[in-house]
A and B are shown apart, each in its own frame.
Chain A
Amino acid sequence: MSPPPPSVATAGPPERPHAPHRSPVDGSPGTWERAATAALGGTLLARGLRRRSFGGAAAALGGGWLLYRAITGRGRSARTFVPAPTWSSSGSDRTGSGPSDGATTVERAVTVRGDADELAGVWRDPERLALVAGHVLEVTAGDGDGDGVAEDGNVEGGADQSDEGRLRWTVRGPLGRVLSWETRVVEERPGELLRWESVAGAAVPSEGEVRFDPAPGDRGTEVTLRVRFDPPGGRLGDAAMGRFGVVPDALVGGALRRFRSLVETGEVPTLEGNPSARGRGDLL
């Protein structure tokens, strides 16, 4: 390999009138914002396509546009292009019976090769769960300190819970803002179900369960993940979470896909270190 000649653009054909406006790479929003927008765009698109109505078409177009904006890195700031998400989507039920109106439940399923006992272990292992959670959420072993933001350190039932089953979830938003909360396992039926809840006073009250059912034939195990978020402040809370890149639909779907890859191949597909003329790394 000889030293490369200087990087000079080779002349291409003239730009066509339809060619999209190109913005300099340094003017593009950060990966963080793009990730949030792409996830949101994908979600809107999915909803729009499922709804099959004029409104649905509009949502699909809007979603497609967001997706396009996100991956082309165009847009001015998070404020201008991350609209307040409404978390009641298909695949989710608006649950009115919760402590606040803003609660959203998302349920998704994947089929994974492997038996339930083997799969369940991943959901109690912070190291592997961190891979499953992806780049929006950080997962670490819980410290029993309750919530990282609220003063209230009282953990309901904390006395009789061991540290096992405690997990801390952290989201880092723009401008160094951090959202963090802790969950603990509240129910476990080996090879069948694992259920957890956020500890009292958590910044993001949430609960979730993962269920394992044998798939027909030799198809492995059907893994169903159900997560309920209850952001404080209703729709305003929704918007805040959206700015943190927390889009439950995308989180739940993405987590399940990464879980399947980790279990089936021992790794999660990634664009880490991916070379391009933008530099290195392509974490969408």
Chain B
Amino acid sequence: MRALCWHGVNDLRVNDVPEPELVNPRDVVLRVRLTTACGSDLHFIDGYLPTMREGDVIGHEFMGEVAAVGRKVDDVEEGDRVVVPSFVGCGNCGYCRGDLWSLCDNTNPNPELQEPVLGDATAGIYGYTHAFGGYAGSHAEYVRVPHADVNCFHVPDELSDEQALFASDAWPTGYMGADFCDIRPGDTVAVWGCGGVGLMAQGSAALMGAERVVGIDRFPERLRMAREEAGSETIDYTEVDSVVDTLKRMTGGRGPDACIDAVGMEAHGTGLAHAYDRAKQTLRLHTDRGEALRQAIVACRKGGTLSILGVYGLMDKFPLGIVMNKGLTVRTAQQHGQAYVPRLLEHVAEGEMDPSYLATHELPLEDAVRGYDLFKHKEDGCVRPVFAP
């Protein structure tokens, strides 16, 4: 089959690879209908995230049609149209039962690669380094999905593939980020980043009853989407002296009740702090730039919530003193998709939110390398390239 493979830093190619097969009794093999790039893919494409191997099939956000079913799968049948969260859950460990699916104890085949660093291991994820499990990714004609009964979610007939696709990763991530904020009437939620996850966090915060949602970015077309699709107010951080001051002014001096970082180590800024971060990152002294996170901490109202969705490596400087003195609550996780997907599909069916506007570019899988190029450099207004294998 054809698949998009990682061959080295900034070296992706579409190759012929063997087709996946049923291995464990609870597996299904999915024929991928749509699969999309995620900002976190750029971390290993750019070489900031180790444990990729030459030839790995990448991609973790996808939906498709069930092609083969393992003998211990009960609730999924051949031909079912399903969407699958990017983290693999088992459904039986204490974490899965507690709806903390990305912390699953039983789905990472390479925990020994994470434990020395994290002191523990996360769940496995498709197409996202060997430390995160090493499973072949979804940018392929077929993908193997373990523990299918708990990882495959049936897509209602009235939903299009595009409407279901982002319930795999971008939307549950953003939704969880808003959920962390425990939004109450009158709350203002500020979201750093208007990429796929940031836009989903903004739309979800509005859905959960936020009085005001503010999106922060620098790309005009993304800021336009935040206004028009998510209903947010926006700040172009290149056009203001200080994002923090602007947010304080907008909120009567209080600051947002909750701040969501949907940027992570890709954060861009404009000031000295940014130059320092960038220099360190370029020299690989550390892998993270934390400008967005620092702004969020300073802007947030006292006693407010800091919800971190951006993917960080091993950030070595974190202004904990500010967090402590302001009494902030920090909540963060890789996405617990399985806890949210049914609710998200219902929101679409009820016409309450439709994430399909993220799909700015639809390409055949053969053009995936060009798709990642558009995505990485944010050319042609690209928010998410979607590939049809």
Contacts and interface: CB of A to CB of B under 8 A. Distances in A.
Contacts of A280: 18
Interface string B52-75: 011111000000000000001000
Contacts of B3: 275, 277
Given A46-B115, A269-B146, A279 B18 contact: yes
A264 B92 contact: yes
A71 B133 CA distance: 12
Contacts of B105: 257, 260-261, 264
B188 interface: no
Interface stretch (A12-20, A168-176, A191-199): A12-20
A267 interface: yes
Contacts of A284: 109-110, 113, 130, 134
Contacts of A267: 24-26, 146
B53 A278 contact: yes
B346 interface: no
B12 interface: yes
Interface residues of A, number: 59
Nearest to A4: B2
Contacts of B53: 71-73, 276, 278, 282
Given A25-B54, A275-B3, A265 B10 contact: no
Given A19-B8, A20-B9, A271-B135, A266 B25 contact: yes
A274 interface: yes
B20 interface: yes
Contacts, number: 185
B57 A276 contact: yes
Nearest to A48: B116
Given A276-B5, A277-B15, A271 B54 contact: no
Interface in B1-59: 1-3, 5, 7-21, 23-26, 47, 50-51, 53-57
B10 A15 contact: yes
Given A38-B112, A261-B106, A274 B135 contact: yes
A214 to B, nearest CB: 15
Interface string B130-153: 100111100011001011000000
Contacts of A20: 8-9, 47
B369 interface: yes
A239 interface: no
A265 B50 contact: no
Given A4-B1, A18-B47, A45 B116 contact: yes
A1 interface: yes
Contacts of B57: 275-277
A42 B131 CA distance: 11
A113 B105 CA distance: 11
A274 B136 contact: yes
Nearest to B70: A267
A159 interface: no
B113 A42 contact: yes
A10 interface: yes
Given A270-B23, A276-B17, 4 more contacts: A15-B10, A42-B116, A49-B117, A265-B106
